Amino acid sequence: MSDNNDIDLSLVDLVGRETLDALRSTFEACVGMPLLFTNSEGQPVTEVEDPTRFCFAFLQGSPEAEAVRCLCCERATARERTMRETQLRTQHTGEPVIETCPMGFLDAVVPIELQGQVLGYGLFGRALDSVPDLEQYRRMAKERGLDPEACVTAAENATVMSREDILSVAKLLHTIAGLVVRAANDTLQARQVQELEKTRDYLTHMIVHDLRTPLTAIIGSLWSLYVGSLGPLDDPAKEFVELSLRNAKRLLGLVNDLLDVDKMRAEGIALNREPVQLRSIVDAAVEQVHYLVEDRDIALATEPPPDLPALYVDREKVDRVLVNLLGNAIKFTPRGGAISIVASHSGEDEDVLVAVRDTGEGIPEEYLEKVFDRFAQVESRQAGRKMSTGLGLTFCKMAVEAHGGRIWVESKLGEGTTFFFTLPTP
């Protein structure tokens, strides 16, 4: 989480004026007293249906405060001083504060704080803790140079409740403020995550894009060595160069996956469809991963029935889907395990269903919906660590869905995992 001091935190921006107004209306309907939300400077951010019922000590700078003489304070300097003192007290304690003005009216103030920064305040009032003596209010108003009838009207409109009840209502407002803070925090975290993702995507794309050119050059040089362009190699050297060439091509595939996924997210995916037999795509994919299967002593079976109809797909995209699914299965299948590719077709109007099965440790249920996310982390129960599925499965999902198919996964811990996907026929 970044430092909030570098972020402009606005109550309305993080929570929304409509949400605040809805909370205000609900509070007023339940309690019978007006509620007001202000920003950190005390300026109203929600509607004030009867502004004379609020102590304008908390409304400095608002049009109402300038136009109407506050019935609780005798001069503007007193309003500003009261606001500053209230801010200090509420920020220090984080608890509701009950204010009593010179005319005896009670108002409550509750701070709305997010990670140490005050976003604003919730205020309700005005209240009296006893039935008002209206003649006494007339005398008090005359002594302070205020409008006697305005003071009497304010006293008549004030809600009468004990200080204990006012404190209870203030605690209710404190709970509401907590909900506001939670909503603001959720919004803030979501925005920070979005910013981090944008930064990560930019840096990743920049780094990976710069890797592709030298990787291509490395692969070209290794291939020249492998085919003997610079002279014949003995068997150990040729085996070493072949291994380097395979790993370089694998790394280039990862680079291309990232660049392709970013491009597909931004522009969509273009398909070069053609009729093609699934058998030929399966054979090509197996050829690309056979050395990984042999190295881990994994049995790989391909069982597409011979009578499958031709597919109408982008051959290169579907080939990469199969290679990615096979690579993922190899990664999570222990030495001596088994992987199979099966397919079926149930009718003329049905898509072809392809399944890639493994006998690996399986995927925990809570991760099944996440495996297609970019850089998803899947916890390995046996290894006791999380393993990244990278971008391969993300590419698979985007490519299959671009063909109008769908892809999903089923898994059982300790028994293995099966990835299913469907592809269209002509």
Mean pLDDT of successive 10-residue stretches along the chain, which has 426 residues: 49 80 80 80 71 43 40 41 50 64 75 78 80 86 76 80 80 77 77 71 66 82 87 87 83 75 72 92 90 87 85 93 91 91 81 94 85 71 52 87 93 92 90
Residue partners of 150: CB distance under 8 A and separation at least 6: 52, 71, 141
Name the pairing type of β-strands 352-358 and 273-276.
unpaired
CB atoms within 10 A of CB 355: 16
Q: CA-to-CA distance for 331 and 371, rounded, in angstroms? A: 14
Q: CA-to-CA distance for 190 and 375, rounded, in angstroms? A: 18
Residue partners of 180: CB distance under 8 A and separation at least 6: 11, 15, 19, 20, 23, 37, 112, 122
**DSSP secondary structure letters along 96-165:** -EEEE-TTS-EEEEEEEEETTEEEEEEEEEEEESS---HHHHHHHHHHTT--HHHHHHHHHHSEE--HHH
Which pLDDT score is estimated for 400?
A: 94
Beta bridge partners of 23: none
Which pLDDT score is estimated for 50?
A: 52
29 by Cβ neighbours in 10 Å (0-12 / 13-18 / 19+) ranks as exposed
Beta bridge partners of 114: 117
Whole-model pTM: value is 0.50
Which pLDDT score is estimated for 47?
A: 74
Which pLDDT score is estimated for 7?
A: 45
Given a contact cutoff of 8 angstroms between Cβ atoms, the answer to whether 257 and 265 are in contact is: no
Which pLDDT score is estimated for 122?
A: 81
Which pLDDT score is estimated for 348?
A: 67
